[in-house]
Each structure stands twice: as C-alpha cells, then as structure tokens.
Amino acid sequence: MDFLSDFKKSILTIVAVLFFFAGVAFAADEYVPGEILVKYRKKENQRSKMAISLVRGAKVLYRYKNIPVEKWQVDDVEAAVKELSGNSDIEYAEPNYLRYPRYTPSDNYFSMQWYLNNNGGNLNEDYGVEGLAGADMDLVRAWDIELGNSAVRVAVVDDGVQLNHPDLSENIVAGWDFDGNDSSPYPGSSYDSHGTMVAGVLGAVGDNGIGVSGVANDVSIVPLRFDGSISDEVNAFDWAIANGVDIVNFSYGGVSTSNAERDAVQRLEDAGILLVCAAGNYDINNDLIHDYPSGYSNSNIITVAASSIDDEIISWTQFGQISVDLVAPGEYIYTTDLDSGYILVDGTSFSAPAVAGVAALVKSSYPDADYSEIKGRILAGAELNSTVKGYAAIAGRVNAYNALTVLEAPVIVIKSISYSGEDNGIPDAGETVNITLELENIWAEAESVTAEISTDDQYVSIDRAVVSYPNIAEVSSSESIQPFVISLSDQITSNRKILFAVDIAAQDYSITRYFILETGGKTESGNVYNGIIQRNDMDDVHHYYIAVPDEATDLRITTDSQSDIDLFVKKEGFPVFIFYGDYSPGEDTLFSIGNSGDESILVRNPDEAIYHIAVANASSAYNIEYELEVSYSVAGEGQDEGGSGGGGGTVGILMLLFLNGLLVTRKIFIFCSHP
C-alpha cells in the first residue's frame, strides 16, 4: 500500500482532523495506519510485555538494535497512544509518522523503471503498456532506510560488464576475466551484453542525473567474466570466495548436474556467500526437470522466477514449488546496455539481480548478517501474491522495504514432498495417499512446530490433516513425525492439479504455505486416453506412466492431435527436455518431436519397469485436445530396437546458449531476454 499517495489524495478533500491525547496532537492521515513507535525509559525493560498486554491487538513488528524503541502493530493508533502515554515505563508512544518528500532518484529514466516504483502508467506513453499501481519492489520506501554501501561486494558471474559505462563505472570494482585470463572482464563482443544488463538492474548508480537506478544505489559490483563453461564458473565461484564477495548473482543455468559445480556451490555456502540464481524462461516445472545450479539443495541459494508489470507470475517463467523461492519483476526491465546505452529487456536473468540488489541492501543495513539472515529477511518480507501459490516456495513477490524491517523469526518453507500410494510414489485416482512434507527453517530456531493441510477440491478427503514436527533449528530441516493422509476419489481425472494450503505454526510464529498435488496418469495396455492440454499458462506438460511386465516385448506410445504436440518417454524417471523454440530431449529420454500432433515411440524389448510419459504442447494454442494410446505386445510381435518416431531415439542432453537472438552450442544455457 502506498500510504503517501493515499495521504495526498485525502488531503485534497479534507482538512486534517487533529486528535489530542495527553497534550499531543497529530493529523489523522499523516502516519502509517495501525503502527506506532514506543520508546522505553530503559533499554532492557522487563515490563514491556505487560505494556503490550494493555493495548488491544498490539504486536511488536520491529525492535531497533541500539535504542530502546519498538515498532508496534495496533488496532487503533489513537487509543494505543492514549493508553501508553500514562505508563511510567514508557518514555513516549507516537504514531509512525510519514515524512515528505521521500527519496526518488534523479535518474532521467527512473520513471520507466516500474519494478522500482509502479504507478500503473510508467510505460504507457512510450510503449502502450499499462501496469498495476503498487506492483513493485517497494524501493522508494526501502531507500528511505538504506541506499546501499560500497563495503558490500556482489559478484556478477556473466559474459562481462562494460566497465566504463557512465551509469555503472562508479559502482564497479576490480574483477577477473576467466575466459581471457586477465583482470579486464570487459565483454568479448557486441553479443556479450547480458552481464551489463544484469549489472544495471543490480546496481546502476542512483541519483546521478542520468540513465537508470539500480536496486542498490551504492554497491561494489565485482564483474567475473566466464565463457559459459562449468570450469570457468567454478573458477569464478572460488575467486569470489578468495576475494571477500558477500553475494553472487548467477543468471545462468542448465539441466545437467555437475559434481564440480555442486562442490563449488558447497564451498560458497561454507564461506557464507549467498548465491542468487535465475529460474529460467522456458515455462518448465523445475521440480520435475531440474535446473542447475539453482536445483541443488544448498541452503545459501535463492532461486527467482519472474512476475509481470500487472503483478502476476509470468506465463513463460520456469517455476517450482520446491526448487524456486519467490518471484521478482522480470518483464519490461529498463537497464544498462553496451555502448553506454540502455535497453528494455525481459527474463528471469533480470529477476535474479533485482533480488541480489535487495540482498545487498539488507547486508548494508545489517553488516553482520550471514546468508541465512539475508535469505530469511527476503523470504519473510515477500509480498503475498495469489498467482504464485503452488509455483514457488514463497507465494509472493520480493519486497525490499519488508526485507529491511521484518523482525527476526523462523522462516519455514516446504523443502520436499513425497507421496506413497501403490508403492510407486504417484497419487492416482481411488488411492489413499500418505503425504510427507519436509520443512526447512531458514532463519531463527522454530519450536513446537505443527502443520495442517486443507484443500477446497471436491475429489479429495483428508483423513489426517494435522501433524507434528520436532524443533527445527536455523538452516535445518525435518520431516513430520507422522504423514498426512488423504483419499482421492475414483472419479478424479489424470493430471488434475490440486492446491493445498499448509498452515504452519511454531512458538510465536505462523505462516501459510502452498503446494500442488498433481494426480498421476496411470495407463493400461491397449487403452486410449483423452486429454486437454494448456488449460492455463502452467499446463504445458501432461504426465502418464505404464508399468511394463517382464514378458512384454514391444512398447508403443502414440498421440493423435490436430495441434503440434511432442512426446517423450523415459524409464524409471521423468523425461528431461528443454524448450528452445521446440522441445529438446535430454539424456536417456526417447522422443518424437515432429511438426504435428501425430507422434509415436516404439521400445523394443522393454525392461520390467515403470516407463514415464510426457505429452508436451509445442504450439502457442490453448485447450488442445489429444489422444494418447499406450500398448505393449508379447514375444514374436517385436520390431527394431530403440526409440523411433518423429526424431526418436536416445540422445545426450542438448545444451544451448541463447543470447540476443544468437543460438550456438554450449555446455550450459543462459536465461536472457524473453523472445
């Protein structure tokens, strides 16, 4: 809520009414509604809880470190001030007043940076794009508290940064070029503009009268140029450790796991360095098709998906209720470019540095904060957003002001989800399903932890809704003592996405998290299954499986549709594929990816195993109807071994680099501007 805007509107229509309590007068609209500041006569006052108990609805929101002052939330500001003004233990109690004017940078393109301060019309005049007023990172209020500090060092591991850009140079410090093996991490070509764009979002110089403003106006950007390889990435991470970096921004990723990369991320964690990663731009569930390094389980990682100018999760962003932490603005991002220029870009590559910039503000304001406190503040301060429920661990968008002002408390998220139905871990129609949620606590120990699940879905009944957990220490996780238990109706359809709310409680702490249970697509040989794909933006892929017996020979999977859909199959694991204008398969994944909806895969002499099937929408259409037929035959009816169809076969992971329209082969791919 923009309290300043509300005040300006109201002041035009009314004369401020003054309330008088104990000789103190204040204007009704010049303070934050529901908040007061309370100062005790002594720093350590044992009667503070008693004082709180005297005020209806009182709750401590924030305790200042070096002075005996607290910010309270109250039901009635005027009544609270009156009640506390006569308390001998309290030096003063007053509304949380507003001050004017508030800081806004003088940068001449600041008005276009909707993600910093969204007035709903930032881009309307030049681009005809309307936004939602207030759907921003609350930077203007945050900057009243903290603009940043050059003592905070943030590494941008990327394709280089224009070191002499007039809107960046003042905030850039010495880095390294691991591609050229020298101390000049300048972009290698005119195509290497990504790092310069990322650096501008993170920390373009603020209030300098030109260009744009970074999330952190004052910060030390450490450019570390790498060539897109794991080896260069690992070197960059180790350089960051050796050279006192606090935060690393890495707006790259890939579907292949790397031991070297995993070890390097672990070293970052051991060194206390926060790693901020982009979720990706290809509308894929990262919980099923893992992305790295963001997909590692290290507690020092924050993974960021993208939100829109109208405050919704963006249709093209990758997501994951376990593997993605929260969303941040990721479209129409105005930032620095090569040749001392500026550019409007899309992508989670720019959502990540927005969060890294908030991390820099937190580190500036709390110099002793470790990565768990920085991450905890960012996650606890996220502004709730209903469109993110089930698509990120925190159902919300980053809010810089909240991150700076939130009180220390546990920050509990769902770390993993496991199901037990018919011993295959897949919840199917008609089954009683045990659900085990592993909870992770990011910040401050949580005691007496319980969780309760609920859903509005008519096809689900909950047999055990409440479970207990052991105490969960900071940066620790635990499974519940018993699982949740639900029953699925035998009328439920395959691939039904069921939203559950999880009400988590601990001593002096409560929060609601969300997860989506997707029903399985169990198939039987010889049957035809009808489906409708792309009912919404996140419904790109439908999942099926078949249990193949030992005596089976030919396993054949076919689809029939009037639209372009693709088909993928993998034994004992979810098929791996990535979308680059067309779906590309991963290692050990059979595929059929023609230009129609008629796809076919044949597996000769399949093993006795569960084969997982993915039907993917390869078109831009919605509500696509298709048929899926799965069958196997017996000995004597086989055909050629291997996968076949519209491009079938087993292939290694295809890793590509997509940057500014240029497609080249690389070991990992970049999350850059959305096409």
- What tokens does 562 get? 């009037």
Instruction: Identify whether the C-beta of residue 503 lies closer than 8 Å to the C-beta of residue 463.
Output: no
The string over 203-236, giving b where at least 16 C-beta atoms fall within 10 Å of a residue's C-beta and e elsewhere, is bbbbebeebbbbbbbbbbbbbbbbbbebebbbbb
Q: Can you tell me the mean pLDDT for 278-302?
A: 92
- Helix or strand or coil: residue 263? helix
Kindly indicate the confidence band of residue 1, based on its pLDDT and cuts at 50, 70 and 90.
Answer: very low
Kindly indicate the confidence band of residue 672, based on its pLDDT and cuts at 50, 70 and 90.
Answer: very low
Show Cβ contacts of residue 13 under 8 Å, excluding neighbours closer than 6 positions. none
Partner residues linked to 155 by β-bridges? 222, 248
Q: Can you tell me the mean pLDDT for 540-555?
A: 93
| 584 or 519: which leads in pLDDT | 519
Torsions phi, psi of 554, nearest 5? -90, 125
Rounded distance between C-alpha atoms, residue 359 and residue 372, angstroms: 11
Show Cβ contacts of residue 426 under 8 Å, excluding neighbours closer than 6 positions. 419, 520, 522, 545
From start to end of 254-298, where are the E strands?
A: 274-278
| 41 or 525: which leads in pLDDT | 525
Instruction: Identify whether the C-beta of residue 575 lies closer than 8 Å to the C-beta of residue 603.
Output: no
CATH entry, 112-405, from 3.30.70.260, 3.40.50.200, 3.40.50.880, 3.40.190.290? 3.40.50.200
The string over 461-476, giving b where at least 16 C-beta atoms fall within 10 Å of a residue's C-beta and e elsewhere, is ebeeeebebeebebbe
CATH entry, 527-659, from 3.10.20.30, 3.20.20.10, 3.40.50.720, 2.60.120.380? 2.60.120.380
Show Cβ contacts of residue 22 under 8 Å, excluding neighbours closer than 6 positions. 82, 85, 86
Pairing of strands 176-177, 218-225: parallel
Torsions phi, psi of 78, nearest 5? -60, -45
Location of structure tokens 């034994």: 571
Instruction: Identify whether the C-beta of residue 426 lies closer than 8 Å to the C-beta of residue 545.
Output: yes
What are the start and end residues of each CATH 3.30.70.80 domain in the chain?
3-97
Q: Could you tell me what percent of the chain has a pLDDT over 90?
A: 62
Q: Can you tell me the mean pLDDT for 510-530?
A: 95
**pLDDT at position 659, please?**
29
**pLDDT at position 128, please?**
81
Rounded distance between C-alpha atoms, residue 7 and residue 16, angstroms: 10
132-142 pLDDT tens trace = 988 999 999 99
**pLDDT at position 616, please?**
93
**pLDDT at position 48, please?**
55
Rounded distance between C-alpha atoms, residue 439 and residue 322, angstroms: 11
126-162 pLDDT tens trace = 778 888 988 999 999 999 999 999 999 999 999 999 9
pLDDT over 80 (residue 559): yes
Torsions phi, psi of 153, nearest 5? -110, 120
pLDDT over 70 (residue 583): no
What are the start and end residues of each CATH 2.60.120.380 domain in the chain?
527-659
| 108 or 262: which leads in pLDDT | 262
pLDDT over 50 (residue 651): no
- Reported as type and span, the H/E element at residue 653 is none
- What tokens does 181 get? 């093996």
Kindly indicate the confidence band of residue 547, based on its pLDDT and cuts at 50, 70 and 90.
Answer: very high
**pLDDT at position 35, please?**
83
Kindly indicate the confidence band of residue 122, based on its pLDDT and cuts at 50, 70 and 90.
Answer: confident
Instruction: Identify whether the C-beta of residue 530 lies closer than 8 Å to the C-beta of residue 625.
Output: yes
456-510 pLDDT tens trace = 999 999 999 999 999 999 999 999 999 999 999 999 999 999 999 999 999 989 9
| 602 or 110: which leads in pLDDT | 602
What are the start and end residues of each CATH 2.60.40.10 domain in the chain?
412-518
**pLDDT at position 454, please?**
98
**pLDDT at position 64, please?**
62
Kindly indicate the confidence band of residue 66, based on its pLDDT and cuts at 50, 70 and 90.
Answer: low
Q: Of 202, 206, 205, 201, give the one whose Cα is nearest residue 106.
A: 206
253-278 pLDDT tens trace = 888 788 888 889 999 999 999 999 99
What are the start and end residues of each CATH 3.40.50.200 domain in the chain?
112-405
**pLDDT at position 109, please?**
81
Torsions phi, psi of 270, nearest 5? -60, -30
Q: How far is CA 642 from CA 74, 543, 552, 650, in A?
A: 68, 21, 15, 8
Partner residues linked to 212 by β-bridges? none
**pLDDT at position 582, please?**
63
Rounded distance between C-alpha atoms, residue 569 and residue 647, angstroms: 13
**pLDDT at position 674, please?**
32
Q: Could you tell me what percent of the chain has a pLDDT over 70?
A: 84
Instruction: Identify whether the C-beta of residue 58 lies closer than 8 Å to the C-beta of residue 10.
Output: no
Rounded distance between C-alpha atoms, residue 199 and residue 219, angstroms: 11
Mean pLDDT, the chain, integer: 85
305-323 pLDDT tens trace = 999 999 999 998 999 999 9
372-376, 437-441, 472-476, 665-669: which range is least confident on average? 665-669
Rounded distance between C-alpha atoms, residue 506 and residue 122, angstroms: 42
Rounded distance between C-alpha atoms, residue 182 and residue 173, angstroms: 14
| Residues with catalytic roles | 158, 194, 349
**pLDDT at position 421, please?**
73
Maximum average pLDDT range among 43-47, 74-78, 83-87, 638-642: 74-78
pLDDT over 70 (residue 660): no
Q: What is the pTM of this model?
A: 0.80
- What is the homologous superfamily of the domain 3-97 according to CATH? Peptidase S8 propeptide/proteinase inhibitor I9 (3.30.70.80)
Q: Hey, what CATH topology would domain 412-518 get?
A: Immunoglobulin-like (2.60.40)
Q: Of 307, 274, 308, 277, give the one whose Cα is nearest residue 291.
A: 277
Classify residue 279 as left (phi > 0), alpha (psi -120 to 50) or beta: alpha
